[in-house]
A and B are shown apart, each in its own frame.
Chain A
Amino acid sequence: MDVRVQAAPFDFGAEAAAFAAGRADVGAVVTFTGIVRDDSGDLRAMHIEHYPGMTERAITAIAEEAAGRWALGDVLVIHRFGAMAPGEMIMMVATAAPHRADAFAAAEFLMDYLKSRAPFWKKEVTSRGAAWVAATEADEAALGRW
């Protein structure tokens, strides 16, 4: 299990390749990547604040919960904080499992929980100023299916 919280960009291709390399114990690797999306066409930057100390602990607890629910070979979570431009990668999740159903389900579970149970807060900067992104009821409802 590898959990990284960092300001620096990451190389998604290199990370995914390294995660999948040299494993004969798993038949499936699923990856997800989150990208800074510009809904308004006016996004200048996304700032992500986090809770140093709690963040790694909370993500590790979520990953351990996933490892307890599904037969996983490994889990990788990288989540950035700080300032990002539209189109930049914010985070990635990778899961390895003997069978793909477990790898897909665990990746979805990780994403649902990272969205509303890991201490990150997004702020969008546009020409009209800066505004905190509000959590949605759909984000919270997504936890209900697990």
Chain B
Amino acid sequence: MTLDLVYFAWVRERIGAAGERVETQAPTVAALVEELRAREERYAAAFADLSALRCAVDQELADFDAPLDGAREVAFFPPMTGG
């Protein structure tokens, strides 16, 4: 499947891109993260500690074990600091 990935805050800075389109068969967000980590050092650095990261699937906050079936957009970012 084709997924649009978007990155925010220091995740975007560590990866060096605001987003990208990927082809993947990963069944879950966590499996997608494993694929990304294996790509290059900058991904491994960005995804080194999942407890420091949050994710959203199709613009809804999700857990890392969330399924990707039918998903179009996955976002990765640090814990939010609004308000």
Question: A114–B6 Cα gap in the complex (Å)?
Answer: 21
Count residues on chain B whose CB falls below 8 Å from chain A CBs.
16
The contact string, 1 if C-beta is below 8 Å from chain B, for chain A 100-144, is: 000000000001001111111111000000001111000110000
Stretch among A9-17, A19-27, A50-58, A68-76 lining the B interface: A50-58
Number of A-B contacts (CB under 8 A): 72
In the bound complex, do residue B75 and residue A118 qualify as a contact, i.e. CB atoms below 8 Å apart?
no
In the bound complex, do residue A122 and residue B81 qualify as a contact, i.e. CB atoms below 8 Å apart?
yes
For residue B59, which residue of chain A has the nearest CB? Answer: A54
In the bound complex, do residue A79 and residue B82 qualify as a contact, i.e. CB atoms below 8 Å apart?
yes
In the bound complex, do residue B80 and residue A115 qualify as a contact, i.e. CB atoms below 8 Å apart?
yes
In the bound complex, do residue B81 and residue A121 qualify as a contact, i.e. CB atoms below 8 Å apart?
yes
B78 within 8 Å of A (CB atoms)? yes
B8, B75, B83: which has the most chain A beta carbons within 10 Å? Answer: B83
Given contacts A51-B77, A54-B56, A54-B75, contact A121 B9 (CB under 8 A): yes
By a CB distance below 8 angstroms, the chain B residues around A121 are: 8-9, 77-78, 80-81
For residue B79, which residue of chain A has the nearest CB? Answer: A135
